[in-house]
Amino acid sequence: MEPSIFIEQIREIVKPYAKNSDALATMNVSTDFINDLKINSANLVDVVLDVEEKYDIVIQNEEMERMLNVQAAMDIVTTKLKEK
Amino acid sequence: MIGNDIVDLQLAAKESRINRKGFLDKLFLPEEKKLIQDAVQPSLMVWLLWSCKEAVYKIVNRATKERVYAPHHYTCQLHQLSKISASGVVSYQSQSFYFQSRLIGAAIHTHATSTAELLPKVKPVTAYQLTPSYTVLLQQVGILSSQKILYKDKQGIPYILDQDNGRLVPVSLSHHGNYIGVAVLPNF
């Protein structure tokens, strides 16, 4: 998947949870969900669930453990979509 | 070592849909989900257990400096539960951590320690502030002063720095909504 396309899609997903709108607007692959976007840690699970729904994939706990930034989310989604 | 976590219950109710499919499955283990199901107020139990996991995660993160989103690695067991307080043990990788939670206003504040002996010695401070500020709160309760300031290391781990002698004392900070929670080691 093109990073630019993924970034646009993930931006829509995290929008309801992100508390830092500047970081949301300038999101890139290294954007951290918690440190940069200021997403509450209890809402990170919503990001994981929304990503699962959007791409119709299942994210295992071991994969969720490192899903802390855009790059990690993109890697997980890309791998899962290839497995389909 | 110490950790603490605070949950603003009104904000949590707005921010999270705990009944959405998969939510509880990803955050909680089967025995914890049973506690939630059987609770008089399931949502209160959700945030109690969550705050325990978060408080202990802060202890682990302090030691390992590793950031990992793995709530399923933290197993909560309640040893005491009343309408306003709870205590128990959180297991993480065969290590036990001890916690004490209190319902204060519309918030749950949990502090945790790496040994059972340390738990009653920790000083938890809870506050409701319109403009949340750790510095203001810690000054109000006398933990910070002209020579004692809040200091964060490169990893963002907080300490109280005594500028007179350079001594660093661990402090755990937590903020959610209008609530602030702090836990300080004794003899700061």
Tens-place pLDDT, residues A46-63? 999 999 999 999 999 999
- Amino acid B37: pLDDT: 97
Best of B65, B69, B155, B174 to disrupt the A interface by mutation (most A CBs within 10 Å)?
Answer: B69
Between CA B185 and CA B172 the distance in angstroms is 9
Q: What ipTM was reported for this prediction?
A: 0.94
Tens-place pLDDT, residues B3-35? 999 999 999 999 999 999 999 999 999 999 999
- Amino acid B188: pLDDT: 52
Taking CB atoms and an 8 Å cut-off, how many pairs form between chains A and B?
Answer: 44
Are the beta carbons of A61 and B12 separated by less than 8 Å?
no
**CA end-to-end span of chain B, whole Å?**
13
Are the beta carbons of B21 and A49 separated by less than 8 Å?
yes
Q: For residue A46, which residues of chain B lie inside 8 Å, CB to CB?
A: 16-17, 20, 23
The domain limits of chain A are: 3-83
Identify the domain containing residue B62 by its residue range.
2-184
A45 contact B CB<8A: yes
Q: Kindly report the CATH number assigned to the domain that includes residue B135.
A: 3.90.470.20
Q: Which residue has the tokens 């964060």?
A: B152
Between CA B147 and CA A52 the distance in angstroms is 50
Exposure b/e, B147-168, CB count within 10 A at least 16 = b = ebebeeeeeebbbbbbeeeeee
- Amino acid A1: pLDDT: 81
Tens-place pLDDT, residues B68-117? 999 999 999 999 999 999 999 999 999 999 999 999 999 999 999 999 99
Q: For residue B12, which residues of chain A lie inside 8 Å, CB to CB?
A: 42
CATH of domain A3-83: 1.10.1200.10
Judge whether B98 and B130 are in contact, CB under 8 Å.
no
- Nearest residue on chain A to B11, alpha-carbon basis: A40
pTM: 0.95
Chain B residues with CB under 8 Å of a chain A CB are: 7, 12, 15-17, 20-23, 26-27, 50, 54, 67-72, 176
Contacts of B84 (CB under 8 A, 6+ apart): B102, B103
- Count of structural domains within chain B: 1
